[in-house]
Structure 1
């Protein structure tokens, strides 16, 4: 009996540890680059892919994406989104210090001199502006085998829960909208969906409280997904969807193409 109890306890602890390890924390950096320096910055982010791969190999991050935006809240407000993935909230808040990035650059590009590395970073800092950075935790996602690779599409939907309805909104995303997206994935109309809660910035003046990521393998799947309408919903399901929509304000939708990925 004691051995059985010990076995059950060990399985429970293992499952709890596994669940904790699967939690994802992400930093979204919305980047504005001066128009006359876009090509220079594209070259820079290609270099940075190798640098972040060194960070992945070192266990500092669990992934890194670089997205090119097709649309946004205002013309030319942002051109790119950089997403860095962590498995721990402390690591997320500590981020990637400049001295650590320089160290990884030395490893990735051993032929560059110290002067060249310092100049590359300074040039990158001078050419970009980062007016918005979001620290987020993934709350729930769909079950799928979607592969992140250059060329896939995503819409980043910034949401703000209606005041006093924070819990209502989260329950709607998890219990109402997630099954809808899961059904779309099973029909081949979407690749992946995830729902994230903002850790920072906080407060009533924050632009958003949540974010959803809707991913598609190509434009054909994206447009087919937009045209999809579930005609099999009953009245109760339609009411649940409307209640969910009324519990949040959709601030902005950013359509983006994945250019660089580290996994």
Structure 2
């Protein structure tokens, strides 16, 4: 999985049209020759299938000073919205619980992303929530603790909130490289 972050939607859409990947590679690897870069592109092209590209917009996230370093672990909960209240439920019910976990050092960050494209009733998913962990130990501790405890009111709100989405799948990722 490759993730590219943009400051705004216009920049993201503009980059899709330009796809100046070669220019970006020159900036990232200024000492490599054109021959070396072409060899890298050839190897990259053969190593992956870009059959699926999804554009997302950040909807909400916890407040933290989490620094994504190589080795960061992410869990991605891929979901399809079933009710118009879904994003409100994530922000008002689930986000405070995740913020508590961030504040307690049980996770690094949490966020909610909305799919911009593809869209429509046939799209596989409409949203992703992500949780960031500094390493496997932090993720394992979080999972073994089941994220901590919730009061009865929150448990009931969560039970109702889960009805606003269909859980499609959970993916696991590790940050192996950054290019800035």
Tell me the residue number matched to 2:85.
168
Deviations 1:102-124 (A, max 9, x none): 234345334513x4433432332
Tell me the residue number matched to 2:68.
148
| Cα displacement (A) at 1:183 | 0.6
Cα gap change, 1:128 to 1:187, in 2 (>3 Å) = same
Consecutive unaligned residues in structure 1, runs of 5 or more: 1-80
Tell me the residue number matched to 1:26.
none
Tell me the residue number matched to 2:59.
139
Q: Partner of 1:221: helix, strand, or coil? A: helix
* Matches of 1:104 and 1:230, distance apart in 2: 43
Tell me the residue number matched to 1:13.
none
The alignment covers a number of residue pairs equal to 177
Cα RMSD, aligned residues only: 1.9
| Cα displacement (A) at 1:152 | 1.3
Q: Which has the higher strand share?
A: 1
Contact preservation (8 Å) 1:148, 1:261: no
Q: Pick one of 136, 153, 164 that aligns with 1:219.
A: 136
Q: Partner of 2:85: helix, strand, or coil? A: helix
* Matches of 1:238 and 1:116, distance apart in 2: 56
1:126 and 2:43 matched: no
| Cα displacement (A) at 1:126 | 3.0
| Cα displacement (A) at 1:237 | 1.9
Contact preservation (8 Å) 2:101, 2:147: no
* Matches of 1:247 and 1:182, distance apart in 2: 21
* Matches of 1:125 and 1:136, distance apart in 2: 23
1:233 and 2:137 matched: no
* Matches of 2:87 and 2:24, distance apart in 1: 38
Q: TM-score, normalised by structure 1?
A: 0.62
* Matches of 1:109 and 1:122, distance apart in 2: 18
Q: Partner of 1:131: helix, strand, or coil? A: coil
Q: Which has the higher helix share?
A: 1
Tell me the residue number matched to 1:93.
13
Tell me the residue number matched to 2:115.
198
Q: Which has the larger radius of gyration?
A: 1
Tell me the residue number matched to 1:243.
160
